A and B are shown apart, each in its own frame.
Chain A
């Protein structure tokens, strides 16, 4: 698996297809922190949401980088289609982890906040960035072009799911309470996002940890669905 990830990353980096996403994120963060001072956790919440969308875009781009014939050759050399997909997911996550580090460290280095940043702020915001970026990546992986035949379906599916997950609170408010359980199928973006909006005096508690656990459980379900689709596609 490490060699497969290395191969995927080499190929993607040499394709330069990451340039739009990475440069947009870096430039946007630069512009976002032009005005000072900023509240700590609220600012991190915004960069987190942006990374959530961007991770999905990065994943779509990385998944479509490899030539379809080469994809078959890679599957044969790797000894299974699941290994190739997981390597691509991990490769995208590695890139978003680097972007998360930048998003967390940049405002600290350039003193963009209104009060001193504590270790808990840094760890919580970094964890939020990497957790939500993984969620974004998995949503995109499920709708990648290699699994969904039509490009429009692929982009449409990802966009719809991302927007629905971000608008969770609004949908919940409009929906009758009897239909609220349906919302559990939506990606739990807003659960982590709400944690980041609790203000800068936030302290560690079980209630804060719970949304993160739920996101990772949800990610696990998504990976299982991905494997199921891959198996169905092979059997089909």
Chain B
């Protein structure tokens, strides 16, 4: 575990912004914080970043050495009078990174984000998408343990969004924990493992996203075996099963385990009648409601 928030609350004078917020983040995990405008998403991010202090509760960094946290703001500043190269070099030096490291790391990042052709232009001459790429580059310059993104795709065109999603995914694969807010279903589906929904200043829902958004596969099969219950109990990914008639079974399985289960059922002599996808409307509906506001 990298970071833990324990009953965190934030009040401005008498106005409570968030209350009793508790969650943890692990290496390589990505957590989406969702909620309507003004629900306190950005406040939670600021508390994690240390830019704001919680009125109550604890923010624990659960590692011996200090965690490296990178931050990508919603609107990367427009009026930067530096080239991407200069900007990253300055920030790297401010952070205490060595010149040797920066001379290797900066060209690598510029090439990874396809900014070679504009590396000598001042950032305020770049397009919004390119500026946002510089925003990501500065956040990952020191190879952070946690990356905090505040609506990173806001206002970007589809091509740039896709490119940035790919970059975020590759960071996730490299083990970086990601905490983000967003209003794009695509980013949520592709990147988030877990989501929390804020409502009335508190965490209203907390769920593993792949299971909930992807829903479940429902497999119906003819299978006459007295040990069926025992066999199904030990199968990975099976979340529910029920015997509809004496030899007809309905099994609910996580989509990523469905192929393996079907193969196993066939091995056990079952005959597959149907395979259908069951969407979980509850979360899908909630998320859509948030994204529409």
Contact = CB atoms under 8 A, between A and B. Distances in A.
A173 interface: no
- Give chain A's interface secondary structure class: helix
A15 B71 contact: no
Interface stretch (A33-41, A71-79, A118-126, A151-159): A71-79
Contact of A78 (B49, B86, B94, B138): B94
B48 to A, nearest CB: 11
- Give chain B's interface secondary structure class: loop
A72 B46 CA distance: 10
Interface stretch (A3-11, A49-57, A188-196, A213-221): A3-11
Contacts, number: 59
A87 to B, nearest CB: 9
Contacts of B93: 3, 6-7
Given A6-B90, A7-B90, A73-B138, A234 B95 contact: no
Interface stretch (B74-82, B202-210, B220-228): B74-82
How large, as a class, is the contact surface on chain A? 20 to 34
A70 B80 contact: yes
A67 B77 contact: yes
B76 A7 contact: no
Nearest to B77: A67
Contact of B82 (A11, A73, A77): A11
B91 interface: yes
Given A3-B90, A3-B94, A73 B53 contact: no
Most A CB contacts (10 A, CB to CB) among B73, B80, B91 go to: B91
A69 B80 CA distance: 11
Given A11-B81, A14-B81, A234-B51, A69 B73 contact: yes
Top 6 nearest A-B pairs by Cβ distance?
Answer: A67-B77, A14-B81, A3-B93, A70-B77, A7-B90, A77-B95
Given A73-B77, A77-B94, 15 more contacts: A3-B94, A7-B93, A10-B81, A10-B82, A11-B81, A11-B82, A14-B81, A67-B78, A69-B76, A72-B73, A74-B94, A76-B50, A76-B51, A77-B91, A234-B51
